[in-house]
Amino acid sequence: MALRNALLRHLRVPVQNLAVRGSNQSQIGFLGSMRAFSSHDDHLSKQDVVDRVLDVVKSFPKVDPAKVTPEVHFQKDLGLDSLDTVEIVMAIEEEFKLEIPDKEADKIDSCSLAIEYVFNHPMSS
């Protein structure tokens, strides 16, 4: 799988040469080229997930951005309460376009758990 990805990265055709498939033109400059016939197997990278989760937590008004690390605990380290935790988890859901069931969402009480959940979820984007 990793070999295939590495190989495909070298064989990538610039999108400008392909016929337009109705793909989102504005994203092309940022992502390089989008492979036309590949299945959805390029999952988010761990670093990408970490960065985005931390951004979500840092942009929360009650949080001091300087304290936010990938291991920080919402209630113990950041001084948030359970309602703030609910709000943060909802913001993470929106960022990664996920639906986290209540049972799982109740368990997420720190950045590390959030990162782990998002990274392991097949539908994150």
Partner 1 sequence: MVDKAQVISLCRSLLRAGRQYPDYNIREYAKRRTLDGFRMNKNLTDHSKVEEAYAEGKKQLEVVERVVKVYLAYPPKTKNIMELKLQ
Active site residues: 81
Which stretch in 5-13, 67-75, 99-107, 109-117 sits in contact with partner 1 by CB under 8 A?
99-107
Draw the binding track, 47-86, toward partner 1 (x: CB under 8 A; -: no contact): ----------------------------------xxx--x
Cross-strand partners of 73: 110
Say how many residues touch partner 1, by CB under 8 A: 10
Q: Which residue has the tokens 């959805």?
A: 40
Please give the Cα distance from 49 to 55 (Å, whole number). 10
* Residue of 14, 61, 102, 122 interacting with partner 1 (CB under 8 A): 102
Among 90, 104, 120, 125, binds partner 1 (CB under 8 A): 90
Nearest one of 117, 111, 120 to 53, comparing CA atoms:
111
CA distance 120 to 125: 12
Written as one letter, the residue type at 96 is F
**What residues line the site for partner 1 (CB under 8 A)?**
81-83, 86-87, 90, 94, 102, 105-106
